[in-house]
Amino acid sequence: MSAKNFTIKFLASGGFISYIPARVTGFKKFTGSGMAGTLLALALVPFLPEDKTTFAVFCLVFLPFSIWVADLAAAVYATHDDPRIVIDEVIGYWTALLFLDRTPFNLAAAFILFRALDTLKPWPIKKLETSARGGFGIIMDDVLAGAEANLLTRLAARIFL
């Protein structure tokens, strides 16, 4: 594998974290890689800017980077939205946390709601996933799932807290 392809796979797979579920289960489909990517995003939260505005700017900068990486990775893996690409789960979960306090409730609710929306892909997430191509399509359906999870987390916090 070339150094370029190694770097692309490393970035897109979250440091190869998306390969772990297939190694653990023995399945070749990388089932569970989305969960692994979201867990990575959660694990990185303490290292992200704490200020809400600075975090939003960070995400705005990370968004085009993630689209670019996902686009390159789709070419390297020779398939659209290969399950080993989990940079979309990372930006998606971080979108679910935008402008929220990092309380245990918010972190957990955003995680659960993001995973549910990313897995079930209700409208318009599924429409975006199937209509947008390349890195943009790979990333933006997860960003939309994150935005919906963000709104639902806010609603859940109002109801339960």
- Render pLDDT for 106-154 as a digit per residue (tens, 0 to 9): 999 999 999 999 999 888 888 877 788 899 999 999 999 999 999 999 9
Query: At a CB cut-off of 8 Å and minimum separation 6, what does 57 contact?
Result: 49
pLDDT higher than 80, residue 29: no
Per residue in 47-101, pLDDT (tens digit) is 999 999 999 999 999 999 999 999 999 999 998 889 999 999 999 999 999 999 9
Assess contact for 67 and 136: CB atoms under 8 A. yes
Q: What pLDDT is recorded for position 125? A: 86
Q: What pLDDT is recorded for position 28? A: 63
Assess contact for 129 and 137: CB atoms under 8 A. yes
Separation between Cα atoms, residue 106 and residue 108, nearest integer Å: 5
Using CA atoms, how far residue 47 sits from 16, 119, 138, 161, in Å, is: 19, 26, 25, 26
Q: HSE of 77 in the Cβ direction (CA atoms, 13 Å)?
A: 22
Assess contact for 160 and 125: CB atoms under 8 A. no
Residue 46, helix vs strand vs coil: helix
Q: What pLDDT is recorded for position 58? A: 98
Q: What pLDDT is recorded for position 47? A: 98
